[in-house]
Every structure is written in C-alpha cells, then in structure tokens.
C-alpha cells in the first residue's frame, strides 16, 4: 500500500513538472535564463513555506549537522541545473528539451549505483540503454546533419546535475519534507538571483515575475515535495523511473500549445524513449503479499519417531527478472520459525 501511494506521488510529481518546459519557453522571451531559474525556485520555496503554515503534523525529523553536506550539495546543484535547462530551452526546442529531460533517469540511476550502492536490475539497465540512445538521437539537429546541438548539450548537463541532486535529496528524504523543499527553493533561488545580477540581466515586468513564481510553485514546489515523499519509500532510481512520464506530458503540451513540428528523427527518438520508460517503470512493479504453506517433517526423540505437519504464512516480494517469476523469502527465518515450533 505504501509503495502504491509513493508511485502515485512520483507520477503526480511528473505531471506537475511537465508544465515547466513549454511555459518556460514562452516566459523566456521576457525573462533572462538565470532570473527565470531564480524565480522558479523562489516560487517553490515560498509556496511550500506558506503551505507548511497550515500543516502542523508533518512527519519526519528535522535536518541536523550531519545532513549539511547533502543539503549544500542539493542547493549548489539546484542552482546550476535550472540555469543549464533555461539556456538549453532558449537555444533549442521545448519538445526536444522535454524528451532530453528523461536522461535524468540515466544519471540518477548510474549515480545511485556507483556512489550510493542502490541495486539496479538488468531490466533497468536495458531501460537506461534505450533512454541513452534516444538522448543521443535528439542531440543532433536533423537527419542530414551531424552538427551537435548546444541546446541539447545544456539540457543534458542539467539532467546530470539533477541526477546528483536526486541522490543528495534521497539521503534526506526521511526528514521533514517541508523543510527540505523550502531550503531547496529559497537558497537555490537566491543563488541563481546572484548569478542573474552578476550577468546584469534586466529585471522583467511584474506580470512575468508573478507568472514565473506561480510556475515555480507548481512545477518545482509541488513536484519536488511529492518527489521527496516518493523517494523515501521507492529510492532514487525507482522514483526517477516513474518520473519518466514527465517529458511525454511536456512534449504533448509543446505540440498542442506551441505548435512545434514533428520530424522523423524526433518520432524515432520518442518511440525509443517510450520503450525505455516502460521498461524502467515495469522494473518497479513489486508487490508484497502472504502465502500459507504446509510443511511436513519427521524427527526422533525418546526412541520414537514423530511426524508433524504445520501451517505458516510469510510475506515475500514477487519479482520479475530475466523472464522468470518467483519469490524472495528468507530461508533462515523459515528454519528458525520451524525450530521454535518444536522447542
């Protein structure tokens, strides 16, 4: 039940984030890249901060000194990533950026495995391979040219930053969610704002400031909040797999509202990306349930033989891997249970 709820959190987080790219594409005509990134995060931190005033029963411990390295890493990476993304959107297409955003799954999973030792199955590796291939296809401009797109490169850099950031946040996900999102929003926003001042970006009109702050609250604040909740149960790699639906929703918005055209290479990359996202999501379909089992065994004591049949239940996880279907359960726990029955 908890895992299903977390899966829904991850999907909702993806849906909220999906509006970011196409709406940002429109706003970037009036707002500088660093300023836009600052307003998005400030909107997230402020909005979630206001929501926290109405929720006094938030679960989770408060952050402490031992969490400081992950908090600093989370904030620094959250300053860099959205700036790379805004620049990538400005130089490239909104729909292309939406699909390339799925490379975040690859970055998050590889970092989770290499640095934080999360388990990654063969199916998830296959998904990573397909998503990587799709990202490579989308990084070149057209079928007749091998000219690399700088916009695509910037979006990929953003996803790598977020891959590291996801794993930093994973180590904080058991703590107070409101506190995490407020820190991410306010400090990452202020960092981006300083960069905007250094670059001497012009301050946008009030209407665009308000729109960017509202977009930040929905696409970053609510999305991050639900993402962190999902991570605390699913882990970094699995949560990013469910989050893979975000680019497809974003692409739909780009086609419908921005009238961005479809190309052959784009459709091929989309098909490959969908295949990878489906595999990534399928890898997380794990359910717990209980089976009754009867065990008959014979033993001897006091010169006589006795036969016993007992029934027990145990919880286990169904898994699907390499075309097989079976159960995980602890043999040692089972033997201890049987031994205790006859003591």
pLDDT band at 300 (very low <50, low <70, confident <90, very high): low
> To the nearest whole percent, how much of the chain has pLDDT over 90?
25
pLDDT band at 140 (very low <50, low <70, confident <90, very high): low
**Cα gap 47→68, rounded to integer Å:** 23
Residue predicted with more confidence, 299 or 264: 264
Pairing of strands 304-321, 324-328: antiparallel
Q: Each residue of 132-152: b (16+ CB within 10 Å) or e?
A: bbbbebbbbbeeeeeeebebb
Residue 183: other Cβ atoms inside 10 A:
18
Report the range of poorest mean pLDDT among 31-40, 50-59, 159-168.
50-59
**pLDDT in the model for residue 330:** 40
Indicate the range of 167-181, 219-233, 239-253 predicted with least confidence. 239-253
Tell me the per-residue pLDDT of 169-210, one tens digit each, with 9 for 90 and over.
Answer: 888 888 888 999 999 999 999 999 999 999 899 999 999 999
In this prediction, residue 309 carries a pLDDT of 46
Q: Buried (b) or exposed (e) across 287-320, using 16+ Cβ within 10 A?
A: eeeeeeeeeeeeeeeeeeeeeeeeeeeeeeeeee
Q: Do 188 and 41 meet the contact criterion of CB atoms below 8 Å apart?
A: yes
Nearest to 166 by CA among 215, 218, 238: 238
Does residue 316 have a pLDDT over 80?
no
Of 219-223, 251-255, 295-299, 335-339, the one with minimum mean pLDDT is 335-339
Domain positions in the chain: 2-282, 289-341
Residue 339 has pLDDT above 60, yes or no: no
In order of 120, 127, 207, 322, 333, the CA distances from 319 in angstroms are 13, 17, 51, 10, 19
Q: How confident is the model at residue 60 (pLDDT cuts 50, 70, 90)?
A: low
* Cα 249 to Cα 95: distance, rounded to the nearest angstrom: 10
Helix axis angle for 20-27 and 33-52, nearest 10°, is: 130
Average pLDDT of 203-228?
94
DSSP state at residue 140: B
Predicted TM-score of the model (pTM)? 0.67
Better-predicted residue by pLDDT, 148 or 86: 86
Q: In this structure, are residues 89 and 99 in contact, taking their beta carbons and an 8 Å threshold?
A: no
Of 73-82, 141-150, 279-288, give the lowest mean pLDDT range: 141-150
State the pLDDT confidence band at 321, using cuts at 50, 70 and 90.
very low
User: What percent of the chain has pLDDT above 70?
Assistant: 76
């Amino acid at each position: 039940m908890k895992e299903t709820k977390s899966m829904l959190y991850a999907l909702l987080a993806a849906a909220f984030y999906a509006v970011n790219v196409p709406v940002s594409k429109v706003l970037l005509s009036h707002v500088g890249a660093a300023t836009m990134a600052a307003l998005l995060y400030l909107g997230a931190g402020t909005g979630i901060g206001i929501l926290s005033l109405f929720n006094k029963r938030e679960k989770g411990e408060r952050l402490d000194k031992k969490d400081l390295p992950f908090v600093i890493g989370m904030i620094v990476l959250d300053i860099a990533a959205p700036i790379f993304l805004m620049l990538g959107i400005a130089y490239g297409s909104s729909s292309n950026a939406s699909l390339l955003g799925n490379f975040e799954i690859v970055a998050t999973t590889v970092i989770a495995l290499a640095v934080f030792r999360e388990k990654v199955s063969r199916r998830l590796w296959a998904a990573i391979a397909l998503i990587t291939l799709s990202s490579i296809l989308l990084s070149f401009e057209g079928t007749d040219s091998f000219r690399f797109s700088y916009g695509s490169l910037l979006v990929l850099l953003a996803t790598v930053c977020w891959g590291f950031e996801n794993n930093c946040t994973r180590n904080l996900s058991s703590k107070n969610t409101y506190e995490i999102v407020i820190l991410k929003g306010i400090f990452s926003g202020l960092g981006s704002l300083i960069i905007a001042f250094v670059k001497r970006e012009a301050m946008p009109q009030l209407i665009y400031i308000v729109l960017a702050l509202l977009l930040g609250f929905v696409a970053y604040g609510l999305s991050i909040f639900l993402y962190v909740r999902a991570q605390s149960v699913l882990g970094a790699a699995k949560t990013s797999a469910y989050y893979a639906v975000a680019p497809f929703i974003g692409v739909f918005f780009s086609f419908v509202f921005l009238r961005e055209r479809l190309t052959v290479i784009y459709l091929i990359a989309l098909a490959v990306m969908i295949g990878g996202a489906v595999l990534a999501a399928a890898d997380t379909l794990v359910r717990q349930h209980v089976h009754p089992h009867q065990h008959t065994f014979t033993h001897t004591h006091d010169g006589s033989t006795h036969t016993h049949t007992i029934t027990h239940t145990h919880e286990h996880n169904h898994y699907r891997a390499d075309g097989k279907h079976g159960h995980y359960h602890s043999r040692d726990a089972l033997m201890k249970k049987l031994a205790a029955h006859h003591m």
